[in-house]
Structure 1
């Protein structure tokens, strides 16, 4: 029986009452502060002020705990809108926002299918908004948006982690490599790249994400109009 269907143990009157939700929230707090490497059953139990053995019955393995953590984040992802474009845009933007609040979430996206109740509710909302579209289009369209979001948020989270680790932000990095690029471009070997750097739009992370999402949604709309 999967964890979402398995009943919780009967609550015992102790100084530190437990529930599956309390365990998940404690694990998320550890992960939010120090990443997934900070999450173990022993550390979660310590954060709750109980012995590790008390967690069993609520969860059997760390993998179950991670599944529950991911599904808890999906409760923050709320597809909205009466049409497919609004639904896909909102699920993309709220997924990105959730990954910014919980960076570890980006590390767990894109693996096995998420089948918890909150994940299924988000999927239901998107699928319902696309109810008038043929499944041959719906399935790859949703998969394409998911792939775009996963790639984008992982890149953004990686950049944020790199900046924290090095103390060098994007502008400082570009300034440090500016003289090198000017020398390389002066050789004339990379005219197309030089044009991109000199004349292309310099978008911030929000603008980059939304522009890429617009391109993708426009492509879906074009397919639907065929």
Structure 2
């Protein structure tokens, strides 16, 4: 039986009371503070002050734990207000998803992998699909599937890239100035060859774009493309 439908164990007299919600909250805290790579039943049990075997009464496997953690984040995304207009609803959900992934970077690692079928994930999927189904030019289920595919591909790719860049900056400890000092002379020599004029224009004339503003601009461009293409 899926963890979503499996009843929790009956409460029992113990020094430390447990619940799935408590286990999941602790797991999320550890993943936020460290990473999914170091997350283990033993580490969660130690944080809770219980023996590892007690956790298996509530969560049968690491996969179930990850499913529960993911759905807890979707519960936050589901709080995005549902608007009367389809486009405002889609924008709210996608921006909320980005915010959640920046707050819980491990969540980005689990986007686009195995299907997310928890109740909150399904609720977010329903809200998004129902809103997009109202978009001009979406005439049938095939068009809706393609539109959702295009939207999700952009969202997952953009969020993963942003999270990866944040992690890289932290792990290498190299800020922009240090990077420019180390690779700037090489890049200048290459651009001065004249073989890369468009890249040179981007490097020399391009501004440092705000991440949130760029995400919104690209998202609206995707929505414009989805609706105009579907209407043809």
> If the length of structure 1 is used for normalisation, what is the TM-score?
0.93
**Map of 1:31 onto structure 2:** 31
Give the 5 Å matches for 1:178-193: 178-193=184-199
- Count of residue correspondences: 226
C-alpha distance 175-217 of structure 1, shift in aligned 2 (>3 A): farther
After superposition, the CA RMSD in angstroms is 1.6
Greater relative contact order (CA < 8 Å, ≥ 6 in sequence): 2
Contact 2:98 2:159 in 1 (8 A): yes
C-alpha displacement at 1:98, in angstroms? 0.4
Give me the whole-angstrom Cα distance separating, in 1, the residues matched to 2:214 and 2:180.
Answer: 17
2:162 aligned with 1:156:
yes
C-alpha displacement at 1:60, in angstroms? 0.5
| Secondary structure at the counterpart of residue 12 of structure 1 | coil
Give me the whole-angstrom Cα distance separating, in 1, the residues matched to 2:175 and 2:115.
Answer: 34
Structure 1 residues 62-106: Cα deviation after superposition (integer angstroms, max 9, x where no partner): 110011000100011135322332222222111110011001111
C-alpha displacement at 1:218, in angstroms? 1.2
| Secondary structure at the counterpart of residue 163 of structure 1 | helix
Give me the whole-angstrom Cα distance separating, in 2, the residues matched to 1:213 and 1:176.
Answer: 34
Give me the whole-angstrom Cα distance separating, in 2, the residues matched to 1:171 and 1:121.
Answer: 44
> If the length of structure 2 is used for normalisation, what is the TM-score?
0.91
Give me the whole-angstrom Cα distance separating, in 1, the residues matched to 2:202 and 2:167.
Answer: 26
Give me the whole-angstrom Cα distance separating, in 2, the residues matched to 1:131 and 1:110.
Answer: 21
Give me the whole-angstrom Cα distance separating, in 2, the residues matched to 1:67 and 1:204.
Answer: 32
**Map of 1:215 onto structure 2:** 221
**Map of 1:20 onto structure 2:** 20
Structure 1 residues 109-160: Cα deviation after superposition (integer angstroms, max 9, x where no partner): 1101100000001111112223444222211111211111111111111111
Contact 1:88 1:145 in 2 (8 A): no
1:135 to 134, 141, 145: 141
2:205 aligned with 1:199:
yes
2:112 aligned with 1:106:
no
**Map of 2:174 onto structure 1:** 168
Which runs of no fewer than 5 residues in structure 2 stay unpaired? Answer: none
